[in-house]
Amino acid sequence: MSRVPLTGWKLGYHALTFVLVVALLMAPALWNGYPLIYFDSEDYVEMAFSFQPIIWRIMTYGVLCTVARAFDTLWAMPLLHAILTTWVLHEAVMGFIGRWRHMVFLGVGLALALFTGLPWVSSQVLADVFAGTAILGVAALAFGEGLRPWRRFALVVITAVSVCVHMSHVAVAAGMLLVLAVVWLGSRFLRRMPRPRMLGPVVALTGGILLVPVTHYVAMGRFIFSESGQVLQLALFVQMGLAKKYLDEVCPQGAELDMCDHKDELPRTADEFLWGDSPFDELGGWTALHDESGRIVAGAMRLFPAEVLKSGLVNTWEQLDLIESGEDLVPMTWHFVKTQLRRYPDEFKQFRFARQQRRPAIDFHNINAFQIPINQAAEVVTLVLLAVAWRRRDRTTTGLAIIVVAGLVGNAIVCGALSNPHDRYQNRVVWLALFTAVVGAVRLDQRFAGQRRLAIRAENEALAAEDGGRDARAP
């Protein structure tokens, strides 16, 4: 059912709510005095100017950072993040809510700003904010109602961009395609199963996935997704102890692996292996170890399949529980300084005197103590809503909850079991649970209210008919 276009004061009020939510999502950057900088930010900003690949990054978010280059200010990135995220939130609310949509949209924006880490993610010069918009965009395209064609097209484009800016988003997107296919097939056999619209989400997901190798082909002449995946997987196996166990097994048998000479020097964590004092650089780093990493990972999976599976499940569960805000948002008193001076020298004073650069570092203890229980409760409520919506045959709420639950679990699998668990990874998507809890509760309330109004109307009509019958029998 198509929505009636807004006009007059309603359009103005609606636009004001949109601007307010954008401001809420930029609030940490505004409070900080400059966009928040993460360690990875330097590489992406540099790629926006040089268009030279960095082997442990994909280039798509670097290309997106050319927006900041075009406006000659890094403020363009948190503003772009906030506008695109607000657009997706707006379209999702419009698609899932029947009445009082503008008030629900503003309420959702306030709830996410106060009770989740979404504003902190949106305020960083980093691709993380798009992990959640990709999932919510798919949910709105698949199960949202009443979106006009041009708005649906815009949502497809934003969702595709959200997918392409990070390899973990690409991996989750591939899983979402599988989930949509399963739900669509299930709807042919189960009446309670929602039937998703397939065209929009499939185009968005496949388009976003293909944008990665297309971008690399244009920039490097090679149609590839990533050149670092095997090395990152090896780093995880080092952390889990599987790399050492495999090398202990095959090196005495004469395996031709350079890491055999360093198997007793491997550190305890993946981060130490890649970035700390380890044999990694001595062995040639990302390029030289690419093929050998694949051999070690494949060999360990073949020799120890049960341990690999167990470690993957443990890491996935650990990743689901890691939802703190502020990981590694530390003072950048040496990191990023050269990039700031070289690329955005006019903003160096803002960067230098931003709150992030002060010591002690920004304290997230109170924020996390307040937000983590709320987000954990929202995850539980989302599961309960899924069960209630299924029982009440509310296919739209069921579809939203299925996509969000699949996205949260898929993100934990990709970042935990296939990469390395960190709070940052799950914090960037956990806000989807609160969104689903609020929107799902409003939907169920409005549906119950609608059914109650229909029941009252039917009762009144029955009483009127009865009164009419008595009047007709009266002498």
214-258 tens-digit pLDDT = 999 998 888 988 877 788 888 889 888 899 999 999 999 888 888
Residue 460: the pLDDT is 46
- Please tell me whether residue 393 adopts helix, strand or coil conformation: coil
Q: Convert the pLDDT of each residue in 279-302 to its tens digit.
A: 888 888 888 888 889 899 999 999
Residues of the chain with pLDDT under 50: 1-2, 449-456, 458-463
Contact predicate 195/184, CB 8 Å? yes
For residue 45, give the amino acid letter. V
pLDDT for the residue numbered 162 = 98
The confidence score (pLDDT) of residue 220 equals 85
What local confidence, expressed as pLDDT, does residue 357 receive? 94
Question: What whole-number distance in Å separates Cα of residue 443 and Cα of residue 139?
Answer: 15
CA distance 101 to 92: 10
pLDDT at position 221 is 86
For residue 291, what pLDDT is reported? 87
CA atoms within 13 A on the CB side of 116: 33
C-alpha dist (Å) from residue 274 to 180, 262, 271, 283, 389: 36, 14, 5, 11, 46
Dist. CA 144–CA 92, nearest whole Å: 7
The amino acid present at 262, given as its one-letter code, is H
pLDDT at 458: 47
The span from the CA of 147 to the CA of 180, in Å, is: 20
pLDDT in the model for residue 70: 96
Question: Which sign, positive or negative, has the C-alpha torsion 18, 22, 23, 27?
Answer: positive
